[in-house]
Amino acid sequence: MMNAQQIVLANRPEGMPTKENFRAESITLPPLNQEEVLIKGLYFSVDPYMRGRMKDVESYAPPFPVNEPVYGNVVGEIIDSKSASFKEGDLVRGILPWATEAVAKAQSVVKIDASIADPSYFLGILGMPGLTAFFGLLYIGKPTPGETVVVSGAAGAVGIIAGQIAKLKDCRVVAIAGSDEKIEMLKEKFHFDEAINYKTIPDLNKAIKDACPKKVDIYFDNVGGKISDAVIVNINTHARIVLCGQISLYNATETPVGPRLEPLLVTKSALMQGFLVGDFKNKFSEGIQQLSQWIKAGALKYHETIIDGFDKLPEAFAGLFSGKNIGKMIVKA
Amino acid sequence: MMNAQQIVLANRPEGMPTKENFRAESITLPPLNQEEVLIKGLYFSVDPYMRGRMKDVESYAPPFPVNEPVYGNVVGEIIDSKSASFKEGDLVRGILPWATEAVAKAQSVVKIDASIADPSYFLGILGMPGLTAFFGLLYIGKPTPGETVVVSGAAGAVGIIAGQIAKLKDCRVVAIAGSDEKIEMLKEKFHFDEAINYKTIPDLNKAIKDACPKKVDIYFDNVGGKISDAVIVNINTHARIVLCGQISLYNATETPVGPRLEPLLVTKSALMQGFLVGDFKNKFSEGIQQLSQWIKAGALKYHETIIDGFDKLPEAFAGLFSGKNIGKMIVKA
């Protein structure tokens, strides 16, 4: 028997989430059954997609029940095991509750190899965000050398990888982000060809047009809304619009409206494809292998915003929607 | 030297086109040069896409110049030839001016084989509309047996073929059209599973939901706008939205707005793909062969609205946008 802290969804956010939507609780963990493990959470991932699960509507994943713990990607350490697959000290990753310690089925977690990269990287570049960027860009965007790729949310966990993979594929990469600090990082550390601060540029449409003299072949979209409007009006014939995320719309309380894109998609013979990383489940090992190889070779860099303290999870999550993170947002317990 | 009548674009339509946007003129044709032919127009195609070329904006095809003849698909008869490839009496098809007779380069027209089908069919089921339906449905929609396919503009030149090909692929086909006469034809003659009159149904969204108990796997869209809104809200995971036409929006004088679809496309991992039939140019012979085979086997039926009189071309064209045609709209000279 062990005591732990967990964070539950206290009520469903209306619009922007706040820390008042969550509540910390003390719980007593049950003893382990066979094929179960006890995990101490080390790194907790907060991701924009989790906002969708806080709504009471059917989606690709069931909604989080109110008064139950929030679940997300967690890297933790095995501190007790009734499974032959895991021993104390093993580092694992899985979809686990926001809890300081948790009991999980052994089959619900996978071991991570900290010799490849820091454990927290398995929540980012070597986790869901990395695979999302990899499959979205390569399998939907299908970049060819010399093409122009625009990435929105380019300083975010996924965008920062998508842009770098596009560079590795010899594309011109134009990044859009929301602070001068992010813009500087995207140019100086990640060497994107252009980086535009959408919050300070007077005319985003014109800025994109100027930055993309050969128009936009691939738009890797993490944000949606007015930023996307400005990009999409600049697409090329046979453009591919990779719909990865729509963070600007996740907190909308009414159905967002915008220009109808279909007539342009017809005249440009353009593709717009939504996807979830799970669509590529049977190719995950290919993605992990290639990403690991690029990391080891120094071809892919990464950036994290690590917030200290398990109890900061609600604030860190809410901060995603005001752009507080640079790169992957992670809470370290 | 021969006199002919031609119809020119007198001025660019604002909103709905009217016959006042066009003007008939008498012209004298020049004598034939080598590798030219003289063609008497028999059947003239009016197609929604031509509306786009009447605007003064860059698109996939250059705009029609004002005071110059409108060009469209025409089936005609060779009445004089300075090319070894054609002799008098040959039936041909090509993009030709709206003119009773016209001089054309021999290489700009192709012979048609009237033993396969009536000559006018080469403007419809065996022409651009047939190929559009064929490639859009099969190469973008990728129907599999048992899937639900919704076709908007289902009684139009393209929709009527797309729906039938979906039936040939063992799909459930739900048709949307705008008159009871069309609905009856779609059910009785074409045997679509359901047909909905969007003009009289009180709640289109609910009607589509009821008609698609397993949701919408493929949406073959010819119309756009509010009809599409009602369909798209009912899509399945991994749905394919084939953007063929957007006739409801072609006459818009301001950028049409509507619900932003991207968040739904993400959660449904759905594809939206615009296309032009020319994207499949190198596969045209495959399409023509398969369509001809289906016609000969009686597996594909067709319907035409034929309007008599060359001078009726402007009216016939304008009529497309008020849904006056059932099936392919054609003007017989």
Instruction: Return d(Cα B122, Cα B76) in angstroms, integer.
Output: 11
- For B57, which residue in chain A has the nearest alpha carbon? A267
ipTM for the complex shown:
0.93
pLDDT in tens, B214-238: 999 999 999 999 999 999 999 999 9
pLDDT of residue B185: 96
The helix-helix angle for A225-232 and A204-211 (nearest 10°) equals: 40
* Number of other residues whose CB lies within 10 A of the CB of residue B203: 10
Q: Mark yes or no for CB contact A260/B257 under 8 Å.
A: yes
Q: Name the interface residues of B facing A (CB cutoff 8 Å).
A: 52, 59-60, 221, 224-225, 228, 237-238, 243-246, 249-250, 255-276, 279
Q: What is the mean pLDDT of residues A290-310?
A: 95
The structural domains of chain B, ordered by start, are 2-124+303-332 (3.90.180.10), 128-278 (3.40.50.720)
Of A249, A259, A263, the CB nearest to B246: A263
With a cut of 80, say whether residue A60 has pLDDT above it.
no
DSSP classification of residue B140: I
Contacts of B265 in chain A (CB under 8 A): 243, 272-274
pLDDT of residue A61: 81
To test the contact with chain A by mutation, choose from B139, B220, B260 the residue with the greatest count of A C-beta atoms within 10 A, namely B260
Instruction: Return d(Cα A293, Cα B19) in angstroms, integer.
Output: 65
Q: What residue ranges in A235-321 does DSSP mark as E strands?
A: 235-243, 257-259, 271-274, 304-308
Which ranges in chain A belong to alpha helices (H)? 50-53, 128-135, 159-168, 180-188, 204-211, 225-232, 262-267, 284-296, 313-319
Q: What is the mean pLDDT of residues A10-32?
A: 96
Contacts of B264 in chain A (CB under 8 A): 274
With a cut of 90, say whether residue B142 has pLDDT above it.
yes
Q: Which amino acid is at A113?
A: D
In which band, very low, low, confident or very high, does the pLDDT at A20 lie, cut at 50, 70 and 90?
Answer: very high
Of B263, B275, B276, the CB nearest to A246: B263
Contacts of B276 in chain A (CB under 8 A): 266-267, 269
Q: Mark yes or no for CB contact A265/B258 under 8 Å.
A: no
pLDDT in tens, A204-240: 999 999 999 999 999 999 999 999 999 999 999 999 9
The CA–CA distances, whole Å, from B48 to A34, B55, B162, B280 equal: 67, 13, 16, 19
Token pair listed for B58: 């860059």
| 3-class secondary structure, A284 | helix
pLDDT of residue A57: 83
With a cut of 90, say whether residue A7 has pLDDT above it.
yes
Instruction: Return d(Cα B241, Cα B265) in angstroms, integer.
Output: 10
CA A26 from chain center: how many Å?
A: 29
Q: Mark yes or no for CB contact A262/B249 under 8 Å.
A: yes
Q: Mark yes or no for CB contact A269/B275 under 8 Å.
A: yes
pLDDT of residue A301: 94
pLDDT in tens, B31-47: 999 999 999 999 999 99
Instruction: Return d(Cα A38, Cα A106) in angstroms, integer.
Output: 9
Give the helix/strand (H/E) hosting B123. Answer: none
| 3-class secondary structure, A77 | strand
Q: What is the mean pLDDT of residues A133-144?
A: 98
Instruction: Return d(Cα B312, Cα B290) in angstroms, integer.
Output: 33
Q: What is the mean pLDDT of residues B43-59?
A: 91
With a cut of 90, say whether residue B207 has pLDDT above it.
yes
Of A249, A268, A270, the CB nearest to B260: A249
With a cut of 90, say whether residue A300 has pLDDT above it.
yes
Calculate Rg over the CA atoms of chain A: 20
Q: What is the mean pLDDT of residues A96-119?
A: 95
Token pair listed for A48: 């924009």
At B178, phi and psi to the nearest 5? -115, 20
With a cut of 80, say whether residue B58 has pLDDT above it.
no
Nearest Cα of chain A lies from the Cα of B46 at a distance, in angstroms, of 18
pLDDT of residue B1: 72
| A:B CB pairs within 8 Å | 120
Q: Mark yes or no for CB contact B267/A243 under 8 Å.
A: no
Average pLDDT, chain B: 96
DSSP classification of residue A110: E
Calculate Rg over the CA atoms of chain B: 20
B198 with B176: CB under 8 angstroms? yes
Contacts of A52 in chain B (CB under 8 A): 267
- For B140, which residue in chain A has the nearest alpha carbon? A271
Token pair listed for A327: 């790169």
Q: Mark yes or no for CB contact B256/A255 under 8 Å.
A: no
The CA–CA distances, whole Å, from A309 to A234, A250, B313 equal: 43, 26, 74
Q: Mark yes or no for CB contact A271/B271 under 8 Å.
A: yes
Burial classification of residue A309, based on how many CB atoms lie within 10 Å of its CB (0-12 exposed, 13-18 middle, 19 or more buried): exposed
To test the contact with chain A by mutation, choose from B223, B251, B267, B275 the residue with the greatest count of A C-beta atoms within 10 A, namely B267
A224 with A247: CB under 8 angstroms? yes
Instruction: Return d(Cα B140, Cα B276) in angstroms, integer.
Output: 11
Contacts of B271 in chain A (CB under 8 A): 271-274
Instruction: Return d(Cα B184, Cα B155) in angstroms, integer.
Output: 10
Nearest Cα of chain B lies from the Cα of A238 at a distance, in angstroms, of 9
pLDDT in tens, B168-196: 999 999 999 999 999 999 999 999 999 99
pLDDT in tens, A154-188: 999 999 999 999 999 999 999 999 999 999 999 99
DSSP string for residues in B59-104: -SSPPPPTTSB-EEEEEEEEEEESSTT--TT-EEEEEEESBSEEEE
Average pLDDT, chain A: 96
Contacts of A259 in chain B (CB under 8 A): 255-257
Contacts of B256 in chain A (CB under 8 A): 259-260, 263
What share of chain A has pLDDT > 70, as a percent?
A: 100
pLDDT of residue B253: 87
With tokens 């041909």, the residue in question is: B92
Q: Mark yes or no for CB contact A274/B257 under 8 Å.
A: no
pLDDT in tens, B66-110: 999 999 999 999 999 999 999 999 999 999 999 999 999 999 999
Contacts of B226 in chain A (CB under 8 A): none
B319 with B329: CB under 8 angstroms? yes
In which band, very low, low, confident or very high, does the pLDDT at B57 lie, cut at 50, 70 and 90?
Answer: confident
Give the helix/strand (H/E) hosting B161. Answer: helix B159-168
Nearest-5° angle of CA B238, CA B240, CA B242?
170
At A282, phi and psi to the nearest 5? -75, 0
pLDDT of residue A1: 72
In which band, very low, low, confident or very high, does the pLDDT at B304 lie, cut at 50, 70 and 90?
Answer: very high
Q: Name the interface residues of A facing B (CB cutoff 8 Å).
A: 52, 59-60, 221, 224-225, 228, 237-238, 243-246, 249-250, 255-276, 279
Max distance between CA atoms of chain A, in angstroms, equals 65
- For B250, which residue in chain A has the nearest alpha carbon? A263
Burial classification of residue B65, based on how many CB atoms lie within 10 Å of its CB (0-12 exposed, 13-18 middle, 19 or more buried): exposed
Token pair listed for A171: 């594309």
At A18, phi and psi to the nearest 5? -130, 170
